[in-house]
């Protein structure tokens, strides 16, 4: 073990990433595993099987978060946790989330094989629904673990087919009370998540390890625009109240507001559009938009939102349409824990791996785990920064290096008093 740190079985880790990628609703190389879909459930089973073979004890909570624990010599004190997610948005890649789950397992197995004996137990967490695809809200599982969402809001969640979370989790055989999900105070002593950067910086700088000092705070809004429909020929242009054109103007205003926020970290996307009746010869009477707005700074995020809302009011008045905004979620940013960041940097240094401190503009389960315990993330490069697309790629050597730094960090944290 050079630098006293175990080697990762990089080939086995890559093989598992490739195997999990074939459990998908979409034709490979795309990966799609939406919460509680057949692929999502099979993906969870695949990971659970690997965890059992590694001798970890498994627990699944009422909303599907999965916990695989390696008992330490002091099982009664708070454990150290790592993990990420295996769900994937439509037409995604095979590394987002998966690197943190399978890389976390590989780190535990490497420590086991090296004869390491943890004092604090080490627990791998597979968070349910990090992606917002099913219900429009991200980090559902980690949000609930942190007690960061009201249970009546959870019970009110419905997907596009009007299916409730309750019905879906019941079908997945999860019938414990939702009240049992939130973790008790002090349940974990620290959390470290391994993840691809989902941006181009590490690759550009030729740096193999990023240590995340801040995670952008996400917010999401559902906007319903109601105009007047009618015949595409008979309704003359000056008489129209076309909901889709109001939506188009609003989407451009969303982009303009993000660019005018005063912060380079403001990101705004109108990623979901539905037009009704969506017929070529009918003036659209309704438009439903979902807007994703995020920033590392709450103040500039709020500034962008204020600009969007005033543009929305102006468009509604000028076009004679009704615009209703519903907030889906609005979460504060999170900071990386200084001690845990320094520990990960020290481990990387012992492995002669250069590091850089980073901001994550993608959100992660770490955003909510930071409310539960000291948290940081370890980033690895991904090619051209591509993510949330089938071309997503991370070099097996980078994945193994990230898992090795994670193994060393978990080992240190497990012996922290
Ligand atoms: O959208 C995000 O930042 C994450 O990938 N769910
Ligand atoms: Mn993602
Ligand atoms: Mn992710």
Mean pLDDT in residue range 39-51:
98
Please choose from 31, 363, 368, 385 the residue to mutate so as to test ligand 1's pocket, defined by most ligand atoms within 8 A of CB: 363
Q: Are 320 and 183 contained in the same domain?
A: no
pLDDT reported for residue 272 = 95
Summarised one tens digit per residue, pLDDT across range 273-294 is 999 999 999 999 999 999 999 9
Residue appearing with tokens 């604090």: 120
Residue 131 falls inside a structural domain: yes
CATH of residue 237's domain is 3.30.70.360
- Distance, in Å, from the CA atom of 76 to the CA atom of 390, rounded to the nearest integer, reads 43
- For the segment 165-185, the average pLDDT, to the nearest whole number, is 96
Instruction: Transcribe 41-71 into DSSP letters.
Output: HHHHHHHHHHHHHTTPEEEE-TT--EEEEE-
Q: Is residue 5 part of a domain?
A: no
188-210: per-residue pLDDT in tens? 999 999 999 999 999 999 999 99
Same domain, 196 and 233: no
| Cα(77) to centroid(ligand 1), Å | 32
Q: Which of 313, 330, 347 is the last residue of a domain?
A: 330
- Indicate whether 61 and 153 sit together in one domain: yes
Do 364 and 313 lie in a common domain? no
Angle, CA of 382, 388 and 392, to the nearest 5°? 35
Atom of ligand 1 nearest to the CA of 130: 6
Dihedral, CA atoms, 123, 124, 129, 132, nearest 10 degrees?
100
Closest CA to 141 of 81, 199, 183, 193: 183
| Pair 231, 201 in one domain | no
* pLDDT tens figures, 58-86: 999 999 999 999 999 999 999 999 999 99
The verdict on residue 3 lying in a domain is: no
For residue 18, count other CB atoms closer than 10 A to its CB: 11
CA distance 363 to 265: 12
Final residue belonging to a domain, choices 269, 297, 330: 330
Among 95, 138, 199, 392, which is best to mutate for testing ligand 1, by the most ligand atoms less than 8 A from CB? 138
Q: Are residues 68 and 88 in the same domain?
A: yes
Strand, helix or coil for residue 297: coil
Q: What is the pLDDT of residue 1?
A: 41
Question: Do 58 and 17 lie in a common domain?
Answer: yes
In terms of residue numbers, what domain contains 282?
Answer: 217-330
183/285 same-domain check: no
Atom 5 (ligand 1) nearest CA: 362
CA distances from 329 to 25, 140, 293, 368 (A): 27, 11, 10, 13
What is the domain count for the chain?
2
pLDDT grade for 5, boundaries at 50, 70 and 90: confident
Q: Which atom in ligand 1 lies closest to the alpha carbon of residue 361?
A: 3
* 53 CA from centroid of ligand 2 (Å): 28
pLDDT at 2 over 60: no
Name the DSSP letter for residue 397: H
Measured distance CA(270)–CA(189) in Å, rounded: 38
Is 154 inside any structural domain? Answer: yes
Per-residue pLDDT tens over the stretch 302-346: 999 999 999 999 999 999 999 999 999 999 999 999 999 999 999
- Decide if 4 is inside a domain: no
Q: Are residues 199 and 237 in the same domain?
A: no
CATH number, domain containing residue 350: 3.40.630.10
The answer to the question of residue 1 being in a domain is no
Over 80: is that where the pLDDT of 3 sits? no
Domain co-membership, 56 together with 92: yes
Q: How far is the CA of 196 from the centre of ligand 3 (A)?
A: 8
What is the residue-averaged pLDDT of the chain? 97
- Label residue 161 by pLDDT band (50, 70, 90): very high
Q: Could you tell me if 25 and 158 lie in one domain?
A: yes
Q: Could you tell me if 21 and 152 lie in one domain?
A: yes
Residue 323 belongs to a domain: yes
Domain end position, chosen among 296, 315, 330: 330
Query: Is pLDDT of 4 > 70?
Result: no
86 located within any domain: yes
Cα distance between the two ends of the chain = 24
User: What span, in angstroms and rounded, lies between the C-alpha atoms of 205 and 8?
Assistant: 24
């Amino acid at each position: 073990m050079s630098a006293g740190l175990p080697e990762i079985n990089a080939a086995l880790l890559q093989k598992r990433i490739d195997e999990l990628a074939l459990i998908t609703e979409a034709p490979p190389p795309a990966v799609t595993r939406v919460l509680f879909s057949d692929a999502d459930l099979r993906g969870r089973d695949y990971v659970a099987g690997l965890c059992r073979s590694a001798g970890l004890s498994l627990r699944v909570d009422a909303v599907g978060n999965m916990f695989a624990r390696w008992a330490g010599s002091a099982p009664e004190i708070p454990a150290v946790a790592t993990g990420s997610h295996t769900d994937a948005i439509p037409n995604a890649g095979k590394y987002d989330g998966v690197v943190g789950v399978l890389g976390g397992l590989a780190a535990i197995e490497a420590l086991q094989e090296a004869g390491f004996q943890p004092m604090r137990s080490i627990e791998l967490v597979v968070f349910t629904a990090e992606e917002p695809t099913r219900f429009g809200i991200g980090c559902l599982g980690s949000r609930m673990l942190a007690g960061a969402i009201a249970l009546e809001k959870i019970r009110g969640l419905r997907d596009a087919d009007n299916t409730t979370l309750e019905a879906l989790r019941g079908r997945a055989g999860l019938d414990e009370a939702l009240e049992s999900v939130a973790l008790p105070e002090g349940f974990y002593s620290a959390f470290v998540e391994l993840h691809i950067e989902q941006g181009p910086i590490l690759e550009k700088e030729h740096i193999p390890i990023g240590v995340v000092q801040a995670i952008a705070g996400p917010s999401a809004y559902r906007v319903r625009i109601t105009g007047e429909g009618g015949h595409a020929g008979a309704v003359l242009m000056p008489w129209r109240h076309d909901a889709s054109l109001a939506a188009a103007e609003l989407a451009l205003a969303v982009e303009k507001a993000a660019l005018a926020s005063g912060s380079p970290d403001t990101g705004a996307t109108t990623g979901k559009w539905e037009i009704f009746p969506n017929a070529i010869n009918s003036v659209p009477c309704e438009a439903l938009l979902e807007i994703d707005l995020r920033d590392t700074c709450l103040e500039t995020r709020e500034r962008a939102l204020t600009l969007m809302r005033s543009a929305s009011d102006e468009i509604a008045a000028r076009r004679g349409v009704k615009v209703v905004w519903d907030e889906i979620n609005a979460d504060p940013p999170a900071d990386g824990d200084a001690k845990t960041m320094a520990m990960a940097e020290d481990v990387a240094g012992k492995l002669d791996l250069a590091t850089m401190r980073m901001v994550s503009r993608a959100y992660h389960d770490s955003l909510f785990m930071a409310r539960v315990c000291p948290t940081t993330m370890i980033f690895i490069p991904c090619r051209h920064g591509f993510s949330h697309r089938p071309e997503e790629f991370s070099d097996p050597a980078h994945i193994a290096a990230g898992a090795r730094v994670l193994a060393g960090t978990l080992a240190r944290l497990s012996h922290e008093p």
